[in-house]
Amino acid sequence: LSLEFANSALAAFDVFSLFSASDSRHAAPEFPLCQQLTNAASLTIFKMAGLVSQMSSMSLSSKGMFGSHAVLQTSSSGAGARRSLTVVAAKKWVKQKLNKNGNPELVKMHVLKGDTVQVIAGGDKGKVSEIVSVNLKTGKILVKEINMQTKHVKPRTSDEAGQIIQREAVIHHSNVMLYSKTKEVRSRVGYKVKDDGKKVRYLVATGEEL
């Protein structure tokens, strides 16, 4: 179903409503052929109006060549009001929030680069590994040999050959917890200030400092 078809159906339905509401003196009962054409047209219009009423209860979306989405929305203010169709373009990306200085807001994370963590969710649940990198803007981390994905690399020149490589993909920092190698338990992170005034992190379950 296209937007042009929906608009045509709405226009035809309005015309038929005005015709049916007009005075009966304007009708032509002495012409049976005209009466048959009018009945056929009214049946077609009612079918088209029924399709429009079904379209009002769902949202149609299609992805274009540039990645944008066209969303068909319908709205009506009353029972006898005409439905309006609007095409809304949904953004492929959402702009990140900025602070008062114009810089992206950083996500507060409980882990840092180099920490030993255990995965607590996902396909690699239970595995223990080390954090390779962190992204404070998105709140995602890269953990060594966790969330492996296959990458097909095309050859750049005629002398090169294509490759199939395995590499890590990022995961959200909430999917991991800090892990103690000595006690072999996972733990939440705590913060405390030492006597010299230095703030350090420690494992709540074991008490060892990080």
Per-residue pLDDT tens digits for 107-152? 899 999 999 999 999 899 999 999 999 999 889 999 999 999 999 9
Write the single-letter amino acid at 75: S
How far is it, in rounded angstroms, from Cα 72 to Cα 201?
51
How far is it, in rounded angstroms, from Cα 29 to Cα 20?
14
198: helix, strand or coil:
coil
Q: Considering only CA atoms, which of 179, 152, 178 is closest in space to residue 164? A: 152
Per-residue pLDDT tens digits for 17-40? 555 454 444 444 444 544 554 565
Taking the CA atoms of residue 200, residue 203, residue 206 and residue 210 in that order, the dihedral angle to the nearest 10 degrees is -50
Integer Rg of the chain from CA: 32
